[in-house]
Structure 1
Amino acid sequence: MIGRFRSLFASWTRILRRRLAGDGYHPEEHYMRGPGPKTRAKYSDNKSNP
């Protein structure tokens, strides 16, 4: 229980420090998750018709 609170507190302080320091962009927070549903639908039609 204490470890969970400690990690939650650490993440809150990290976020607060970033906001106060004005350090806005962190690429690790905006990672690419792969193609979306529109891209999958677009290319699935082309693959099914050889």
Structure 2
Amino acid sequence: MIGQFKSLFAHWTRALRRRLAGNIYHPEEHYMRGPGPKTRAKFADRKSAGS
């Protein structure tokens, strides 16, 4: 019985913390800047082989 109460209480506190914290994920902090040097090298090889 006490274990069930602790579990329910933990669930409620997690939900309350999430609501009070608001939107934690900010996509502008996780943007990709573009292809890296390996991708550029791979496509450069394809362009030179096709010509």
The normalised TM-score by structure 2 is 0.47
Normalising by structure 1, we get a TM-score of 0.48
Whose RCO is larger (CA < 8 A, sep 6+)? 1
